[in-house]
């Protein structure tokens, strides 16, 4: 299972290791969310297997990203 980069995965090309579906991270269907670890799983929209997960960043990481990547699109609204 892959740990996606929270900031970039939505616009990244993802390939499902099971059915070879190819699409963008934002097209994946949301799986389980683990509140204690801030981890959210993402599943393949075609075969529903889990292809990866993201960990939601802390405030400091958000600030750091915005500073280092001004105006860069992440597709998180």
What are the residues binding Zn ion (CB under 5 A)? 16, 18-19, 21, 44, 46-47
Closest by CA to 73, choosing from 31, 26, 29, 38, is: 26
In the complex with Zn ion, the residue whose CB is nearer, 3 or 19, is 19
In the complex with Zn ion, the residue whose CB is nearer, 4 or 7, is 4
Please report how many Cα atoms fall inside a 13 Å half-sphere around the Cα of residue 53, on the Cβ side.
12
Rg, the chain, Cα only: 13
CB of 24 to Zn ion, least distance (A): 14
In the complex with Zn ion, the residue whose CB is nearer, 21 or 65, is 21
């Amino acid at each position: 299972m892959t740990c996606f980069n929270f900031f970039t995965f939505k616009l990244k090309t993802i390939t499902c290791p099971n059915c070879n579906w190819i699409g963008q991270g934002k097209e994946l269907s949301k799986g389980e969310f683990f509140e204690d670890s801030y981890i959210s799983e993402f599943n393949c929209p075609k075969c529903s297997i889990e292809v990866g997960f993201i960990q939601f960043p802390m405030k400091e990481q958000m600030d750091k990203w915005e500073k280092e990547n001004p105006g860069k699109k992440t597709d998180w609204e």
